Amino acid sequence: MKITTKAFDHEIQCPTCDFNYTHIKRADIQDGHDNSWHGIGGYRGDVAVIKMYCENGHLFNINIGEHKGNCFISLEPKGDISDL
């Protein structure tokens, strides 16, 4: 997938319920040390993790991970807000 430079080309939907009313909680960088130490998605390199939630109460992450010279993006369901 090629991500465009236009701001509104790629709307994010919740991976659990597909609702498009989503919000950003915070973002972190997890060091992979070329050995998948963070345990996120099998990526060997560092991963940028954007923590999100949808207005139906589902938590999920957007992960941008490095792996052998390439970067990949994926959504990871993380349960419900009521689980916190």
Binding piece for Zn ion, criterion CB under 5 A, among 2-10, 13-21, 31-39, 67-75? 13-21
CB of 57 to Zn ion, least distance (A): 7
70-80 sheet: strands from edge to edge:
22-30, 47-54, 58-67, 70-80
When asked if residue 73 is in the footprint of Zn ion (CB under 5 A), the reply is no
Determine the Cα–Cα distance for residues 37 and 44; give it in Å rounded to an integer: 8
Which of residues 58, 61, 63, 65 is near Zn ion by CB under 5 A? 58
Per CB under 5 A, residues contacting Zn ion are 14, 16-17, 19, 54, 56, 58
